[in-house]
């Protein structure tokens, strides 16, 4: 919970006070560090985990690969990906491949990332192709983006994400006519960009708010409260 809120100091404090640390608690802390961009700390904690004679599992390595992906640790990510099977004998899952491909794609190693995707023992899903397409966008590799986009549409034709990502790649190359054609194609297929949303936990109940939507059952009360707060803020403004 603290990690999801970005309160790493509090999370570390709780973790340090645990009288008994197991693989679950280490995995949670490793992933918490990973999602907050503390890749080096996550790897250091993994080393400490082994000092406790705790054996890592698939969840441990998912956190480590995520850490490398979001901290630019491509060489370390390659080592971890290889060690997972060769050293620890843990089978690779789809999510591990997706994370590793994301590591390579972010680092600009797009040919290697595509090779890994092609050599997977199972059919790549939308997360795999999405990670690769994201790398094409990041590094302006339009030559690869079109093929990756086609593969992404095959596995997830109703998602707007792949269309939006390719449109961004085309726009970056100033291919405005192609952008227009792609948007027309989206309209013809009835594909709409998913609106942004957020989740807020209040007293144990999760509330979802969607951009441009007034469908929340308590929306009238929410707006009434917001208007009241806005009025009080005006009085506080010098």
In a domain, 2, yes or no: no
Q: Based on the domain organization, do 121 and 227 belong to the same domain? A: no
Q: Based on the domain organization, do 170 and 228 belong to the same domain? A: no
Q: Based on the domain organization, do 202 and 190 belong to the same domain? A: no
Give the residues across from 137 on adjacent strands: none
**Nearest Cα to Cα of residue 68 among 58, 56, 60, 80:** 80
Q: What pLDDT was estimated at residue 211?
A: 65
Q: Based on the domain organization, do 167 and 70 belong to the same domain? A: yes
Q: Based on the domain organization, do 46 and 58 belong to the same domain? A: yes
Q: Based on the domain organization, do 34 and 86 belong to the same domain? A: yes
In a domain, 1, yes or no: no
Q: Based on the domain organization, do 121 and 236 belong to the same domain? A: no
* Per-residue pLDDT in tens (0 to 9) along the chain, 238 residues: 667 666 778 888 888 888 888 888 899 899 888 888 888 999 999 999 988 888 999 999 999 999 999 899 999 999 999 999 999 999 999 999 999 999 999 999 999 999 999 999 999 988 898 899 888 888 888 788 878 878 887 877 766 666 676 667 667 667 676 667 656 555 655 555 555 566 665 555 656 676 666 667 777 887 788 778 777 777 765 5
The number of folded domains in the chain is: 2
Helix, strand, or coil (residue 187): helix
In a domain, 88, yes or no: yes
In a domain, 23, yes or no: yes
Q: Based on the domain organization, do 57 and 128 belong to the same domain? A: yes
- Exposure class string for 184-211: b at 16+ Cβ within 10 A, else e: eebeeeebeeeeeeeeeeeeeeeeeeee
CA distance 165 to 160: 9
> The domain spanning residue 60 has which CATH number?
1.25.40.10
CA distance 58 to 92: 8
CA distance 17 to 113: 41
In angstroms and rounded to an integer, the radius of gyration of the C-alpha atoms of the chain is 22
Q: Based on the domain organization, do 230 and 115 belong to the same domain? A: no
In a domain, 3, yes or no: no
In a domain, 84, yes or no: yes
- Can you give the residue range of the structural domain that contains 220? 196-238
Q: Based on the domain organization, do 236 and 155 belong to the same domain? A: no
Q: Residues 126, 152: contact at Cβ < 8 Å?
A: yes
Q: Based on the domain organization, do 42 and 74 belong to the same domain? A: yes
In a domain, 134, yes or no: yes
In a domain, 118, yes or no: yes
Q: Based on the domain organization, do 156 and 216 belong to the same domain? A: no
């Amino acid at each position: 919970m603290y990690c999801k809120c970005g309160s790493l100091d509090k999370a570390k404090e709780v973790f340090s006070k645990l009288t008994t640390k197991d693989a679950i608690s280490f995995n949670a802390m490793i992933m918490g560090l990973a999602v907050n961009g503390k890749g080096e700390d996550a790897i250091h904690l993994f080393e400490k985990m082994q000092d406790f004679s705790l054996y890592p599992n698939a969840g441990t390595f998912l956190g480590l690969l995520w850490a490398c992906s979001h901290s630019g640790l491509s060489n370390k990510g390659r080592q971890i990906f290889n060690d997972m099977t060769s050293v620890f004998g843990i089978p690779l899952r789809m999510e591990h491949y997706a994370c590793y491909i994301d590591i390579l794609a972010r680092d600009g190693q797009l040919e290697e990332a595509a090779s890994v995707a092609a050599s997977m023992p199972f059919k790549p899903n939308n997360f795999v192709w999405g990670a690769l397409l994201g790398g094409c966008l990041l590094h302006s590799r339009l030559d690869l983006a079109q093929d990756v986009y086609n593969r992404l549409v095959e596995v997830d034709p109703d998602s707007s994400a792949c269309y939006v990502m390719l449109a961004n790649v085309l726009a970056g190359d100033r291919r405005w006519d192609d952008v227009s054609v792609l948007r027309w194609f989206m309209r013809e297929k009835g594909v709409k960009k998913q609106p942004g949303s957020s989740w807020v936990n209040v007293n144990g109940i999760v509330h979802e708010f969607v951009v441009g939507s007034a469908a929340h059952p308590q929306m009238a009360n929410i707006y009434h409260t917001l208007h009241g707060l806005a009025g009080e803020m005006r009085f506080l403004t010098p």
